[in-house]
């Protein structure tokens, strides 16, 4: 019995170290890795002691006010990350792995350098779920009645039309905004957005290997 407990503990620790390494590869800060893995800050500093190979330093982002003042492209990409996370989480994927899977799919979608860092994604998901950094939800996800895309909005806001949908705004502004054209160059933009959401639902590579007893 004692040896079995030790084995399970060793397996959980190995899984946590693997998760920490993956987070670091995605540019995560120590604090984010600590909250996702349950490893202590001292363990993580020893693991990533090389200054060029370790996680990022600096202040952690706070997205509660940032999202409402961010530009259109940032709000679109923030919505993509959080919606992808939720779609994995409702499948029963452990939340840290759901976040990593969602972020990797988001990176594959980006045509330009990503506007949402892994730490920002973690912060957005925390405030959308009331977990990790937050004890209460600050965001909700709504489905646009016009384009059918899901997007992030304030918890108390329930849009009755598509006036606040960032994806509808993207379609409207695409022809006259060079920044949007650079980020989403396709002439079949609406179809590509729809295909992205469909592929996110069906893409089995989004689903990471299960991790037991996640923090």
- pLDDT tens-digit readout, 38-91: 998 888 888 876 544 455 556 677 888 899 899 999 999 999 999 999 989 998
Q: What is the pLDDT of residue 194?
A: 60
Question: What is the DSSP secondary-structure string of 38-95?
Answer: ---HHHHHHHT-STTTS-B-SPPP-HHHHHHHS-HHHHHHHHHHHHHHHHHHTTT--H
Taking residues 190-214, what's their average pLDDT? 53
149 or 116: whose pLDDT is higher?
116
Taking residues 82-104, what's their average pLDDT? 92
Model confidence at 114: pLDDT above 60? yes
Model confidence at 144: pLDDT above 80? yes
Q: What is the pLDDT of residue 4?
A: 63
pLDDT over 90, % of the chain: 30
- Residue in the block written with tokens 């037991």: 212
- Residue in the block written with tokens 């990790």: 132
Q: How confident is the model at residue 215 (pLDDT cuts 50, 70, 90)?
A: very low
Nearest to 84 by CA among 60, 107, 114: 107
- The whole model's pTM is what? 0.82
């Amino acid at each position: 019995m004692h040896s079995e407990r030790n084995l399970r503990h060793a397996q959980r620790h190995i899984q946590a170290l693997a998760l920490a390494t993956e987070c670091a590869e995605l540019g995560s800060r120590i604090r984010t890795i600590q909250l996702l893995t349950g490893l202590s800050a001292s363990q993580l500093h020893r693991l990533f002691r090389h200054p060029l190979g370790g996680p990022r330093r600096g202040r952690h982002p706070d997205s509660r006010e940032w999202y409402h003042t961010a530009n259109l492209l940032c709000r679109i990409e923030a919505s993509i990350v959080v919606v992808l996370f939720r779609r994995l989480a409702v499948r029963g994927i452990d939340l840290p792995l759901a976040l990593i899977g969602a972020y990797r799919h988001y990176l594959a979608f980006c045509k330009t350098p990503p506007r949402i860092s892994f730490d920002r994604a973690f912060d957005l998901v925390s405030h959308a779920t009331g977990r990790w950094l937050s004890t209460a939800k600050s965001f909700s996800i709504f489905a646009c009645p016009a384009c059918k895309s899901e997007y992030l909005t304030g918890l108390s806001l329930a849009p009755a039309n598509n006036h606040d949908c960032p994806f509808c705004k993207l379609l409207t502004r695409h022809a006259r905004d060079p920044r949007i054209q650079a980020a989403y160059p396709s002439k079949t933009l609406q179809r590509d957005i729809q295909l992205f959401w469909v592929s996110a639902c069906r893409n089995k590579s989004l689903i990471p290997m299960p991790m037991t007893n996640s923090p």
